[in-house]
Amino acid sequence: MLIISSSLIIMFISNIMMFLSILLSKKNNNDREKNSPFECGFDPKSSSRIPFSLHFFLITVIFLIFDVEIALIFPMIVNYKLVNHILWTKISFFFLMILLLGLYHEWNQNMLNWTN
């Protein structure tokens, strides 16, 4: 009974502290002037935001995925002499088939084209 009552008191006190921190926190009012870029006191000559290429982002994500896949293949090569060769061959074949199916799917979706 003591543990339940003390845990309820701790939960009640922590909820009160979180509620007070929300009420007393400094409000962040952003206006247009604060969010605009500052160029020595003058208005900016052109847009300060560079257009973002979604295609470049997708190619970067695909590169990172393949990079992680290579990091997963390295231990398979190191453990070749330490494990059963038939089991190693089956697991390696299954893993590489999954990777090739993913590559085929990305190729079908035209995600590997550099130019559009």
What is the per-residue pLDDT across 16-65, written as a single tens digit (0 to 9) for each?
999 998 888 776 666 666 666 666 666 556 666 667 777 778 778 888 88
Name the pTM for this structure.
Answer: 0.47
d(CA 13, CA 6): 11
Helix axis angle for 85-108 and 54-78, nearest 10°, is 170
Residue ranges of domains in the chain: 2-35, 54-108
What is the per-residue pLDDT across 62-111, written as a single tens digit (0 to 9) for each?
888 888 888 888 888 888 888 888 998 998 899 889 988 988 888 888 87
